[in-house]
Amino acid sequence: MKGHLVVEDGTIYTGKIFGARAVRYGELIFNTSMTGYQEILFDPSYKGQILAMTYPLIGNYGVNTEDCESERIHLEGFVVREKSRIYSNWRAQKSLEELFKEQKVVGLEGVDTRKITETIREFGALKAGIFPGNRDKREMVTLVQKSPSLVGRDIVSRVIKSEAYTWQNFGKYKVVVLDCGVKYNILRLLARLNLKVVVYPATAPWQEIEKEEPDGILISNGPGDPEPLKTVVSTVSNLVGRHPVFGICLGHQILGQVFGGKTYKLKFGHHGANHPVKDLTTGRIYITVQNHGFCVDQRTLDETEIEITHTNLNDGTLEGMAHKKWPIFSVQFHPEDAPGPRDTEYLFTKFYTLIENAQES
Amino acid sequence: MPRRADLKKIMLLGSGPIIIGQACEFDYSGAQACKALKEEGYEIVLVNSNPATIMTDPEMADKIYLEPLVPEIVAKIIERERPQALLPTLGGQTALNLASQLYEQGVLQKYQVELIGADYQAIKKGEDRQLFKEAITEIGYRVPESGTAHNLKQAIKIATTIGFPVIIRPAYTLGGTGSAVAYNVEEFKELAEIGLKASLTNEILIEESVLGWKEYELEVMRDLKDNVVIICSIENFDPMGVHTGDSITVAPVQTLTDKEYQKMRDAAIAIIRKIGVATGGSNIQFAVNPENGQMVVIEMNPRVSRSSALASKATGFPIAKIATKLAVGYTLDEIPNDITKKTPSYFEPTIDYCVVKIPKFNFEKFPGAVPQLGTSMKSVGEVMAIGRNFKEALQKALRSLEERFSGLEDIKLEWPVEQGLKVANPQRLFYIREALRQGKSIEEVYQLCNIDRWFLANIEEIVRLEKKLKKAKGKPLSFAMLKQAKEFGFSDKQLAWLTGCPELQISKLREKYGLQAQYKCVDTCAGEFVAETPYFYSTYEYSEITTARQ
> In this structure, is residue A15 part of a structural domain?
yes
pLDDT higher than 90, residue B239: yes
Same domain, B272 and B402: yes
pLDDT higher than 90, residue B370: no
Distance to chain B for A200, nearest Cα, Å: 28
- Find the CB nearest A274 among B350, B527, B541: B350
What CATH number is associated with residue B30? Answer: 3.40.50.20
Q: Where among B153, B185, B208 does a domain terminate?
A: B208
> In this structure, is residue B486 part of a structural domain?
no
Query: Percent of chain B beyond pLDDT 90?
Result: 82
How many domains is chain B partitioned into structurally? Answer: 4
Query: Percent of chain B beyond pLDDT 70?
Result: 99
Per-residue pLDDT band at B492 (split at 50, 70, 90)? very high
**Average confidence (pLDDT) over A338-347:** 97
Q: Which domain holds residue A282?
A: 156-360
pLDDT higher than 80, residue B1: no
Contact between B257 and A67 using a beta-carbon 8 Å cutoff = yes
Instruction: List the beta bridge partners of residue B228.
Output: B222
Exposed, middle or buried: residue B74 (CB in 10 Å: 0-12, 13-18, 19+)?
buried
pLDDT higher than 60, residue A281: yes
Residue B187 phi, psi dihedral angles, 5° rounding: -60, -40
Question: Which chain A residues touch B265 with a CB distance below 8 Å?
Answer: 341-342
Contact between A86 and B457 using a beta-carbon 8 Å cutoff = yes
Per-residue model confidence (pLDDT) at position B177: 66
Same domain, B346 and B271: yes
List the one residue out of B290, B280, B296 whose CA is nearest residue B219: B280
Helix (H) or strand (E) holding B333, with range, is: none
Same domain, A138 and A264: no
CA B259 from centroid of its chain's CA atoms: 23
Residues of A catalogued as catalytic: 249, 334, 336
Contact between B452 and A88 using a beta-carbon 8 Å cutoff = yes
Distance to chain B for A178, nearest Cα, Å: 26
Same domain, A114 and A166: no
Q: Report chain B's mean pLDDT, rounded to a whole number.
A: 93
**Average confidence (pLDDT) over A38-53:** 98
What CATH number is associated with residue A37? Answer: 3.50.30.20
Same domain, A167 and A96: no
Per-residue model confidence (pLDDT) at position B170: 86
Q: Where among A89, A124, A146 does a domain terminate?
A: A146
> In this structure, is residue B540 part of a structural domain?
no
**Average confidence (pLDDT) over B423-443:** 97
Same domain, B67 and B173: no
Same domain, A75 and A182: no
Q: Which domain holds residue B21?
A: 9-116
**Average confidence (pLDDT) over B73-82:** 97
- Find the CB nearest A12 among B266, B292, B547: B547
In SS3 terms, chain A reads as CEEEEEECCCEEEEEEEEECCCCEEEEEEEECCCCCHHHHHCCHHHECEEEEECCCEECCCCECCCCCCCCCCCECEEEECEECCCCCCCCCCECHHHHHHHHCCEEEECCCHHHHHHHHHHHCCEEEEEEECCCCHHHHHHHHHHCCCCCCCCCHHHCCCCCCEEEECCCCEEEEEEECCCCHHHHHHHHHCCEEEEEEECCCCHHHHHHCCCCEEEECCCCCCCCCCHHHHHHHHHHECCECEEEECHHHHHHHHHCCCCEEEEEEEEEEEEEEEEECCCCCEEEEEEEEEEEECHHHHCCCCEEEEEEECCCCCEEEEEECCCCEEEECCCCCCCCCCCCCCHHHHHHHHHHHHHHHC
Per-residue model confidence (pLDDT) at position B24: 87
Residue-wise pLDDT for B188-206, tens only, equals 999 999 888 888 888 998 9
> In this structure, is residue B122 part of a structural domain?
no
Per-residue model confidence (pLDDT) at position B174: 63
Same domain, B254 and B360: yes
> In this structure, is residue A86 part of a structural domain?
yes
Same domain, A131 and A279: no
Interface of A with B in 41-60 (CB under 8 A): 54-57, 60
Question: Which chain A residues touch B260 with a CB distance below 8 Å?
Answer: 89
3-state SS class at B496? helix
3-state SS class at B520? strand
Same domain, A163 and A224: yes
Q: Where among A146, A180, A203 does a domain terminate?
A: A146
> In this structure, is residue B511 part of a structural domain?
no
**Average confidence (pLDDT) over A70-76:** 97
- Closest-CA residue of chain A to B233: A34
Per-residue pLDDT band at A44 (split at 50, 70, 90)? very high
Residue-wise pLDDT for A89-108, tens only, equals 999 999 999 999 999 999 99
Contact between B545 and A32 using a beta-carbon 8 Å cutoff = no
Per-residue model confidence (pLDDT) at position A180: 98
Same domain, B218 and B338: yes
Q: Supply the pTM of this predicted model.
A: 0.94
pLDDT higher than 80, residue A12: yes
Contact between A285 and B544 using a beta-carbon 8 Å cutoff = no
Residue-wise pLDDT for A318-335, tens only, equals 999 999 999 999 999 999
Same domain, B312 and B362: yes
Same domain, A142 and A160: no
Same domain, A130 and A266: no
How many domains is chain A partitioned into structurally? Answer: 2
> In this structure, is residue A219 part of a structural domain?
yes
CB < 8 Å & 24+ apart, contacts of B409-412: B409/B433, B409/B494, B409/B497
| CB-based contact, A228 to chain B, within 8 Å | no
> In this structure, is residue B497 part of a structural domain?
no
What CATH number is associated with residue B178? Answer: 3.30.1490.20
Contact between A91 and B257 using a beta-carbon 8 Å cutoff = yes
What CATH number is associated with residue A192? Answer: 3.40.50.880
Contact between B258 and A38 using a beta-carbon 8 Å cutoff = yes
Same domain, B324 and B385: yes
Contact between B530 and A121 using a beta-carbon 8 Å cutoff = yes
Same domain, A223 and A341: yes
Distance to chain B for A15, nearest Cα, Å: 7
Distance to chain B for A13, nearest Cα, Å: 5
> In this structure, is residue A151 part of a structural domain?
no
- Find the CB nearest B527 among A33, A54, A342: A54
Query: Within 10 Å of residue B383's Cβ, how many Cβ atoms?
Result: 17
Query: For testing the chain B interface, which of A285, A290, A336 should be mutated: the one with the most B CBs within 10 Å?
Result: A285
Per-residue model confidence (pLDDT) at position B171: 81
Per-residue model confidence (pLDDT) at position B374: 87
Listed in sequence order, the residues at least 6 apart from B106 whose beta carbon sits closer than 8 Å to its beta carbon are none
Per-residue model confidence (pLDDT) at position B472: 86
Contact between A272 and B350 using a beta-carbon 8 Å cutoff = yes
Same domain, B384 and B304: yes
Same domain, A142 and A168: no
Q: Where among A146, A165, A183 does a domain terminate?
A: A146
Interface of A with B in 281-340 (CB under 8 A): 283-285, 287, 313-314, 337-340
pLDDT higher than 60, residue B550: no
pLDDT higher than 90, residue B19: no
CA distances from A20 to A16, A76, A132 (A): 12, 11, 9
Question: Which chain B residues touch A33 with a CB distance below 8 Å?
Answer: 258, 350
**Average confidence (pLDDT) over A120-130:** 96
Same domain, B104 and B224: no
Same domain, B176 and B265: no
List the single range of A276-290, B165-179, B300-314 with lowest mean pLDDT: B165-179
Per-residue pLDDT band at B172 (split at 50, 70, 90)? confident
pLDDT higher than 70, residue B143: yes
| CB-based contact, A167 to chain B, within 8 Å | no
Helix (H) or strand (E) holding B215, with range, is: strand B214-222
Query: For testing the chain B interface, which of A31, A42, A86, A108 should be mutated: the one with the most B CBs within 10 Å?
Result: A86
Instruction: List the beta bridge partners of residue B235.
Output: B216, B250
Query: Percent of chain A beyond pLDDT 70?
Result: 100
Residue-wise pLDDT for B99-136, tens only, equals 999 999 999 999 999 999 999 999 999 888 889 999 99
Interface of A with B in 72-131 (CB under 8 A): 81-82, 84-91, 110-115, 117-118, 121
Same domain, A282 and A346: yes
Same domain, A311 and A169: yes
Contact between B257 and A314 using a beta-carbon 8 Å cutoff = no
Per-residue model confidence (pLDDT) at position A139: 96
pLDDT higher than 90, residue A210: yes
Distance to chain A for B219, nearest Cα, Å: 15
pLDDT higher than 60, residue B414: yes
> In this structure, is residue B541 part of a structural domain?
no
